[in-house]
Amino acid sequence: MNLLLIGHDANRAGAQLVLLNVMRLLKAEGFQMHLLLGEGGPLLEEYQAICPVTIWPAPPAYAVGALADKVLWKLGRWQQFYERRTKAHQQAIRSQLGLDKVDLVLVNTVTSSRWVAQLAIPAQTPVVTFVHELDMSVRIYTRPDELAYLLKRTNHMLAVSKATARYYEQEHGFDPTRISLYTLIDTPTLEKNVQKAMKQPSLYASLGLPADALIVGGCGNAEWRKGNDLFVSIARQVISRYTGKQSIHFVWVGMPKGTLHDDIWLDIRKAGLADRVHLIPPTPEVLRYTSRFDVFVLCSREDPYPLVVFEAGLSGVPVVCFDGAGGSPELVETDGGYVVPYLDLDAMSDRIIELLQDPDLRREMGQRLGQKILERHPAKQSVDTLIQLFNQLTA
């Protein structure tokens, strides 16, 4: 079977890493693939090691050329020439992708809707859309007309959690009989990577942390949706309320330099927490930090079903998250950590302190979260489910 995969970029983030796992497993099953990306990124070479990759080229800057465009504009004919040039540009991409010979298109993320809308995928070619985004991301990363086109063109939807499926059913009217819950996590590889990271020397000494420090961790991009600002408020509460003897440190992994980083660092300094809250830039060594957390706090305002929760669970780290902020509560439940009311920072801080004060409870909840991940998300079963769906749609 010949597949066209469409992704929005090659950054080292959850949906892109899931796509990489999907590609590895499908290649092992003998599938022919071509990946279309909106932009490149750090994962590009890993994608290219699996199949050919095309990055959507920038649109033409001119209809004809700088001087000729001015003349055409005065004559009122610029739009006509530019549309003709754009059409030729899109036709060249379609030829490069061999669209007429593709058996099925897998769209990874609704953010990719902008490229789907320009591709004119043949009507008989089935489209499967893997949705990782909820309301905030949809508003930020899609245009209503392009998203509507993608959803109308989608034969079957894969949703990473019940919360995600419910969103597309209720807010976008997508037929629930054409939605499957689907999470593909390459658990054997992830587990192996976690074990490898745990055997490597700790990176925390380089931050000046005491060897017996208790570490509350967060992880993710620098964006309002991830609740980086809430992380600092929680740190302030936990550090001021904790009565134990060990020092508490809060570590966020994945915060690049930029305006939000500077704003948050200002809060950290003004709260007197500069020696207790640490911001680590994005790094391929992420597991060397996260596997040594004592508690993982998911303070996202919205996160459909984050990979970081899987990494925490397979490291034996319990998770504290918000109810109503995505799919994580479906996995954490009452035995893998705590689910607290949305934006209730007091409740979140209390639960973190409870875990910090009780090493046995931490260990028990962390191990249970890891067990549930292995029980519910076996990689082989996941790829078999995907192949069965592809076969049904192309029959």
CATH topology match: 2-184+378-394 vs 187-376: yes
> CA 301 to CA 326: how far, in whole Å?
8
Q: Which of 21-25, 83-87, 93-97, 228-232: highest mean pLDDT?
A: 228-232
> CA 310 to CA 332: how far, in whole Å?
10
pTM of the model: 0.78
Distance of CA 351 to the CA centre of its chain: 26
Q: Does domain 2-184+378-394 have CATH number 3.40.50.300?
A: no
pLDDT digits (tens, 9 = 90+) for 30-81: 999 999 988 888 899 999 999 998 888 666 555 566 666 676 677 776 666 6
pLDDT digits (tens, 9 = 90+) for 131-170: 988 888 899 888 999 999 999 999 999 998 888 999 999 9
Taking the domains of the chain in order of start, what are their residue ranges?
A: 2-184+378-394, 187-376
Q: Which of 233, 223, 156, 280 is nearest to 14 (CA)?
A: 223
Sheet architecture: strand order including 214-219? 277-280, 248-253, 214-219, 295-298, 319-322, 337-340
φ and ψ of 179, to 5 deg: -120, 130
Residue 261 has pLDDT above 70, yes or no: yes
Please compute the mean of the pLDDT values over residues 300-321 and round it to a whole number: 92
Rounded alpha-carbon distances, angstroms, from residue 394 to 34, 131, 294: 17, 21, 47
| Residue environment code for 291-328, b if the CB has 16+ CB neighbours within 10 A, otherwise e | bbbbbbbbbbbbbbbbbbbbbbbbbbbbbbbbeebbbb
**Choice among 44-48, 87-91, 343-347, 362-366 with the minimum mean pLDDT:** 87-91
The pLDDT of residue 99 is 80
Q: Judge whether 119 and 99 are in contact, CB under 8 Å.
A: yes
Residue 319 has pLDDT above 90, yes or no: yes
| Residue environment code for 46-64, b if the CB has 16+ CB neighbours within 10 A, otherwise e | ebeebbebeebeeeeeebe
Q: Which of 298, 326, 310 is nearest to 382 (CA)?
A: 310
Residue 291 has pLDDT above 90, yes or no: yes
The pLDDT of residue 83 is 65
The pLDDT of residue 141 is 86
Token pair belonging to 79: 């739009």
CATH code of the region 187-376: 3.40.50.2000
> CA 184 to CA 378: how far, in whole Å?
8
SS (HEC) of the chain: CEEEEEECCCCCCHHHHHHHHHHHHHHHCCCEEEEEECCCCCCHHHHHCCCCEEECCCCCCCCCCHHHHHHHHHCCCHHHHHHHHHHHHHHHHHHHHCHHHCCEEEEECHHHHHHHHHHCCCCCCCEEEEECCCHHHHHHHCCHHHHHHHHHHCCEEEECCHHHHHHHHHHHCCCHHHEEECCCCCHHHHHHHHHHHHHCCCCHHHHCCCCCCEEEEEECCCCHHHCHHHHHHHHHHHHHHCCCCCCEEEEEECCCCCHHHHHHHHHHHHCCCCCCEEEECCCCCHHHHHCCCCEEEECCCCECCCHHHHHHHHCCCCEEEECCCECHHHHHCCCCEEEECCCCHHHHHHHHHHHHHCHHHHHHHHHHHHHHHHHHCCHHHHHHHHHHHHHHHHC
